[in-house]
Amino acid sequence: MRYDYPVIDCDVLVIGGGSAGAMAAVRAKEVDPGQRVVVFEKGEIKYSGCIARGMDALNIVAVPGISTPELYVESNSLACEGIMDEPVSYRMCERSWDLLKKLESWDVCFPVDERGQYEVLQVHPKGRFCVTMKEPELKAILAKKVLESGVRVLNRTMAVELLKNGERVTGAIGMNVRTGEVIVCNAKAVILSAGGTARFGLPNNGYLYGVYDFPGNTGDGYCLAYRAGAELSGFEYTLIYYIIKDINAPLLYITLTRGANLLNAFGAHREKEHPSIKSMLLEHHEGRGPMRIIMSHLPEKKIKEIEDILFTTERPVQERFFKGRDVDFRSGEIELWPTECFLCGGHGMTGVRVNEKAETNVPGLYAAGDTSLVARGHLSGAFVFGEISAENATDYSAKADDPELERDQVASFLKKKDSRLDQSGNPVPIEEFEYKVRRMINDYIVPPKNEYKLNNALWWMDRFRKELVELVRIRDVHDLFKAYEVENIIQCATMSATASKERKESRWGMWHFRHDYPDVNDREWMKHIVLSRGEAPEDIKISHKEIIKM
């Protein structure tokens, strides 16, 4: 039967081709080379996701003889202040060594010394788990592996809706962000790996895309899962990093572990205290900031080593940035500043709830990477749960019936899409509207929080949801896909304000600090705040779930 849109069939559909999605696609083909695997990638898979190019470390590896999964669980629980399910973190760390060896077999570079030993840094509260990497082409290596595996990659394709048959997820609707073409994928199993909500709060420089993480991450995975009935948690964990002012790029541990000094505004040294983002934010807000990095005392060889990492592997644009600011590491200083607020599973604790098999509570739906809740899993978590999701999605799809096309659901989406395109006469440009939405997120959701601010956030998000339809101008396909992104940002803000209002305590330093409840309250709040969909997307149901121990 012919339709007005192309329909493709597959066994496993991966939504998002970043670190987790690329690894999931490769692993799915390794487990069953004959199965059909498709990737929807909103950008270009060769340079998409949080590691658009290279990486300087694999954050979590239990190197034999140095650390263990048990110690990692203990250490990460301290970092999460107890709000962490232990089995998923244990499983991730348990597979981390084999993962490193697999990456090495793909010619990913992990430097070793003359004795053949890896450089393993301490960046966690307990134990050494961070193995240095020197691989400026990491994402290109992953993308090449995906394509060589025979995976079908649809670049520039944003997933806009999951398809369901009863309780089971059976595929997704995608839209080409350049042409507007709609494509429907029937799938036996779906893996969500579309990142977190990086484009959330507004950076101080006012640039909509000048965010710490990949700006294409607008909470698509969270919202797809939420609308399909999946449980989410950790939306009160509103991350703010403390890194290079105005460019929002990382360098803290790259410099400090190589001898750089960290000073506050009054010249007091901080590097000896193993500074955390949390402690530096607190010092900044108490008036002793901004913090700054000084490297003038280091030998030239060490400075060149740092420059080599920063300017080739970890965001090469930094070289041009520092030259433009007349900053020379040999004589100047690097000023640090708080970033915008964002939501993330990898760096934080926000995401779709999954078990050790990467399963959500919705049959046929899996999650990995920043979309999933594997607390503070970083790149290791993305890779490992990418593999785990692929293994279990493959097993599920092998036993599942071929799904029939849900034509009514597609027709409903197309009707709404056409109505959006009818908004060409509305007065407000989508860019101005997004700026206003994210400025209100800064005003009312960014910590410190209180009941009054969070209530105002919910009022504004409800208003924005209506104005997106009544006032925002949609001139073309570009505006249309922006409208879908902003709709997801609004939904994530609503969920964040709802979860923040529910957790009536302060926890995680500045990341969930409430002036009206300034103390940690383990007795009442050592548990997850879980969100799920009610009758409508704006009707958020709240429940509490106990912490899962080993």
Name, of 146-150, 201-205, 281-285, the range with top average pLDDT: 146-150
Domain that holds residue 153: 7-56+68-108+136-239+343-407
- pLDDT for res 274: 62
Q: What pLDDT, in 10s, does the model give residues 225-281?
A: 999 999 999 999 999 999 999 987 778 888 988 899 999 999 999 877 667 888 899
Residue 171: pLDDT band (50, 70, 90) is very high
* Residue that is last in its domain, among 354, 376, 407: 407
CB neighbours of 194 closer than 8 A, spacing ≥ 6?
Answer: 15, 16, 18, 21, 42, 159, 217, 220, 221, 224, 371
Are 194 and 250 members of one domain?
A: no
Residue 1: pLDDT band (50, 70, 90) is very low
The percent of residues in the chain predicted with pLDDT above 90, rounded, is 88
CB neighbours of 343 closer than 8 A, spacing ≥ 6?
Answer: 196, 197, 200, 219, 222, 235, 237, 238, 239, 350, 492, 496
**Residue 300's CATH number:** 3.90.700.10
Is position 24 within any domain? Answer: yes
Is position 547 within any domain? Answer: no
Tokens 């999951």 sit at which residue?
Answer: 162
* CA separation for the pair 253, 231 (Å, rounded): 34
- pLDDT for res 310: 87
Are 457 and 510 members of one domain?
A: yes
Are 370 and 519 members of one domain?
A: no
pLDDT, mean of residues 203-217: 90
pLDDT, mean of residues 360-385: 97
pLDDT, mean of residues 272-298: 89
Strand positions, DSSP E, 86-142: 120-121, 130-135
Is position 278 within any domain? Answer: yes
**Number of CB atoms found within 10 A of residue 39's CB:** 27
- Residue 270's alpha-carbon distances to 256, 259, 264, in angstroms, are 10, 12, 7
Is position 193 within any domain? Answer: yes
Are 356 and 436 members of one domain?
A: no
Are 198 and 270 members of one domain?
A: no
Are 246 and 234 members of one domain?
A: no
Q: What pLDDT, in 10s, does the model give residues 322-368?
A: 999 999 999 999 999 999 999 999 999 999 999 999 999 999 999 99
- pLDDT for res 4: 84
**Number of CB atoms found within 10 A of residue 292's CB:** 18
Is position 167 within any domain? Answer: yes
* Residue that is last in its domain, among 310, 338, 366: 338
Residue 5: pLDDT band (50, 70, 90) is very high
Are 92 and 184 members of one domain?
A: yes
* Residue that is last in its domain, among 319, 338, 357: 338
* CA separation for the pair 370, 419 (Å, rounded): 32
Are 371 and 424 members of one domain?
A: no
**Residue 37's CATH number:** 3.50.50.60
Is position 118 within any domain? Answer: no
**Residue 522's CATH number:** 1.20.58.100
Q: What pLDDT, in 10s, does the model give residues 384-393?
A: 999 999 999 9
- Residue 371's alpha-carbon distances to 222, 353, 368, in angstroms, are 6, 9, 6
Structure tokens at 215: 């700006």
* CA separation for the pair 8, 381 (Å, rounded): 30
Are 347 and 200 members of one domain?
A: yes
Residue 3: pLDDT band (50, 70, 90) is low
* CA separation for the pair 186, 9 (Å, rounded): 5
Is position 113 within any domain? Answer: no
- pLDDT for res 537: 85
**Structural domain total, the chain:** 3
Summary mean pLDDT of the chain:
95
Are 304 and 376 members of one domain?
A: no
Strand positions, DSSP E, 333-420: 333-342, 351-352, 365-367
The percent of residues in the chain predicted with pLDDT above 70, rounded, is 99
Are 506 and 414 members of one domain?
A: yes
Q: What pLDDT, in 10s, does the model give residues 21-50?
A: 999 999 999 999 999 999 999 999 999 998
Q: What pLDDT, in 10s, does the model give residues 184-200?
A: 999 999 999 999 999 99
Structure tokens at 263: 């000073």
Is position 435 within any domain? Answer: yes
Are 316 and 392 members of one domain?
A: no
